[in-house]
Amino acid sequence: MPEKPKEKTEEIDVVWQQLMKGIKKSSPKTSAWLMPARIASIQGDMVTIAYGPDGEMHREKITGASHMAALTEVLTGILGREIEVKIEGAHKKKENQEESNLFNL
């Protein structure tokens, strides 16, 4: 995977810090569900927020309409343009699924 340019990484870090500060003021519940996530990318008007495998419950909650509206509003204010928010997450492999795959070889 190619590394992000330093400037892009720094921009993402700054936006993340501003997002966490702004969302904590406007929607404390959204802030709590956002804690284990990170901004994966900012491309044009799309901000992608990603969760790791241990953030599945948080990812499911953050996709609620009120949380998505809060994220969109705060990010639009930070970036100065209408923003769409995309939520991504990695899924844990279940042990049973791995065992099942062994029998299907």
Assigned domain for 51 exists: yes
The dihedral built from the CA positions of residue 15, 77, 62 and 59, taken in this order, carries a sign that is negative
Residue 64 lies in a domain: yes
- Domain holding 55: CATH number? 3.30.300.180
In a domain, 36, yes or no: yes
Confirm whether 17 is domain-assigned: yes
pTM of the full predicted structure? 0.78
CB count in 10 Å sphere of residue 82: 9
Q: What is the pLDDT of residue 5?
A: 59
Cα separation of 93 and 33, whole Å? 22
List, in sequence order, every residue forming a beta bridge with 48; answer none if it has no partner: 41, 86
Residue 1 in domain: no
Give the range of the structural domain holding residue 42, as residue numbers without chain letter: 6-103
* Structure-token pair, residue 53: 């495998």
| 9 pLDDT tier (thresholds 50, 70, 90) | confident
Q: Which tops the pLDDT comparison, 90 or 83?
A: 83
Which residue would you say has higher pLDDT here, 104 or 63? 63
The number of distinct structural domains making up the chain is 1
| Segments of the chain assigned E as strands | 37-43, 46-51, 84-89
